[in-house]
Structure formats: C-alpha cells, structure tokens
Copies of this chain bind each other. A is one copy, B any other.
Amino acid sequence: MALSAAGLYRRMRLIRDFEELALRLVKSGDIVGGTHPYIGEEAVAVGVCAALAEQDLITSTHRGHGHVLAKGSDPARMLAELTGRETGLNRGRGGSMHAADIGQGILGANAIVGAAAPIAVGAAWAGQRHGTGQVVATFFGDGGLNQGVLLEALNLAALWQLPVLFVCENNGYATTMPVRTGIAGSATGRAEAFGIPAVTVDGMDVEVVRDATAEAASRARRGDGPGLIECLTYRFGPHHTMEYGIRLNYRTQEEIEHWRQRDPLTIQGGRITPAERAQADAEIEELLAEAERFALTSPRPDPAGALDYLYASGMAARAGVA
C-alpha cells in the first residue's frame, strides 16, 4: 500500500509505541511469556510492506509484531492476541510468535527460525499457478541464513522463478552470536549463488527499504523470479524480554548508542513537518490507548475450548484421561 512520507513515519511510530506498550504489559504480567521486541527495526517491516500490494502475502518470524502491523493488521486485535484474548487475531491460541491474519495476507509468524521461507515459496508457487500476480515477502533474520531449509527454499524459488522476496533482517546478532562468527560469506552472496539478485540496503531508512523492495517486487511480478534484500538494521532492545532478567554482555554500550543515532523514526521524522509528526504521534497514542482498552477488556478463552481448531476437519481428540 503506497504511503506518503508521513504515512511511513506513522506506521513506524505505531510499531514503536506498540512495542513499548507490549513491554509494559510484559512487566505487568498481562502478556505471558514475554516478547522479542522489534524496536529499532521498524523501517524494515514498514519499508517492505509499503512496497507490497494489498493482495500480496508475507510470512513472519519470532520477532514478528512489526511485520504484522506493517502489513495492516488491527493493532487492537494484535494486542488482544498477545494478551491471550478470544478477540485476538488467533483467538488467543497463537500469541506473540504465531500471530497470523489471513485476511491481511499474513500467513503467519513462525517460532522456528527459517521455517517460514519454504512456506512462502509454496504460497508463491500456488499464486504463480493461479496467475494471481501476488508477491510473497518472507522475513527472516541473519541467523535464519544458517537454516538448511531456508537455503533449500532459495534453490526452489530460483529454479522455478517464483515471486518471492527474501527479506533478511540483518540486525547483527542471532541472540548472542555476532554475524561474523555465524555466517561464512554473506547474505547476498548466498542468494547470488542460486542466481537470485540480491542487494544490501540501509535498514534504518524506510524509504530506501521501500524502494529496494519495490524494484524486486516489480521484477517478481514481471515473472523474473525471486529477489533477496538484506536490510542492515539493529535491535535497540533485548533479544527477548527474558534478557532483562539475565546479564548478557554480547554488545557494547557504544555499539548500541551508535545505532540509536540512526533511529529510523528520527531519520523519517526529519523528512516531514513537525506538525505532521506531532499529529501522527498523537493519533497513534490515542489508537493504542483504545487498543489497550480493547485488549484488556476482551474476554479470555474458555478452558473448555482448549483444543478447539486442533483438527480443521472438526475431529475431536481423546482427552488426557479416560
């Protein structure tokens, strides 16, 4: 969905504030199990989704809140999901790592690193076969580049020239492992080895990400096959909120500060008027206040329905005690 400069800022602001709100709800216990905050990486999700059409599809990751919001899910229902409510995107069954919203073309976050890429390839294959002209963007981290199944997926997408955009969110670390100690070669080099055009872009600049995505997307729509976009980005916060509880010294304060200087919101905020910015901030604040109210006042699922949807055929599973 095409967005103005202010629109891009607004989307990123939505994600930033949503994630801050989620952190508060983790601390308050309203979100159980914690989250993998997307703070700092907003330009990737927003830039990519800004270059996609409504009907295009995405797959997401364990760090997926930003992708889901960028593609257009209702923040209130996303927050209801995170707080385990019946009104959540997944009726409270999925949570932070499994949020899906088929109506918005979000085939689902995935808690297994790298696992969503071949699913995206399958969706692209079906779309190509049906001539829908859909493009499928699949997000994954630098760590995902080391999952064999993702490398297999690159081969399939290249062989069959499928409309898949492989979006590598290179935030420098897989949990505590720095990219250079985990990855021989490079993200783009791996894609190119399969004959997939690849670029590395500034993942902190939403317009740069959007333009790179738009180019790859139009190639894919023309039938010229997949592309890979490596977005250099950084998470300002912990790998997961549990990190607040344990001391891990895998990053220096200097490094974190250095990247904070390149906050995607500051960069994009500088491209719009103070008035536009203030308006967006206010709108988001209100929208999230409403989302929080909606989520926290929504009904919790009935334990009697714990195994609802286990089988799409409606088959009932035997209980754990006869």
Contact = CB atoms under 8 A, between A and B. Distances in A.
A80 B155 CA distance: 41
Contact of A185 (B158, B183, B184): B158
Interface residues of A, number: 23
Contacts of A158: 184-185
A185 B159 CA distance: 9
A185 B194 contact: yes
Nearest to A118: B148
A232 B61 CA distance: 40
Given A190-B193, A195-B185, A152 B146 contact: yes
A315 to B, nearest CB: 31
A152 B148 contact: yes
A184 B190 contact: no
A99 to B, nearest CB: 26
Nearest to A157: B184
A219 to B, nearest CB: 16
Contacts of A55: none
A128 to B, nearest CB: 16
Contacts of A151: 148, 151-152
Contacts of A192: 185, 189, 193
A167 B158 CA distance: 24
Interface string A148-190: 1111101100110000000000000000000001111100011
Nearest to A150: B148
A194 to B, nearest CB: 4
Given A189-B193, A193-B190, A193-B192, A159 B184 contact: yes
Nearest to A226: B184
A266 interface: no
Contact of A155 (B149, B159, B184): B184
A147 interface: yes
Nearest to A145: B155
A63 B189 CA distance: 31
Contacts of A184: 154-155, 158-159, 194-196
A149 B148 CA distance: 5
19 contacts: A146-B152, A146-B155, A147-B148, A148-B148, A148-B149, A148-B150, A151-B152, A158-B184, A159-B182, A159-B183, A184-B194, A184-B195, A184-B196, A185-B192, A185-B193, A189-B193, A190-B193, A190-B194, A192-B193
Pairs of residues from A and B, 5 with the lowest C-beta to C-beta distance, nearest first: A148-B148, A158-B184, A193-B193, A151-B151, A184-B194
Given A146-B152, A148-B151, A155-B183, 8 more contacts: A147-B152, A151-B151, A155-B184, A155-B185, A158-B185, A159-B183, A185-B193, A189-B193
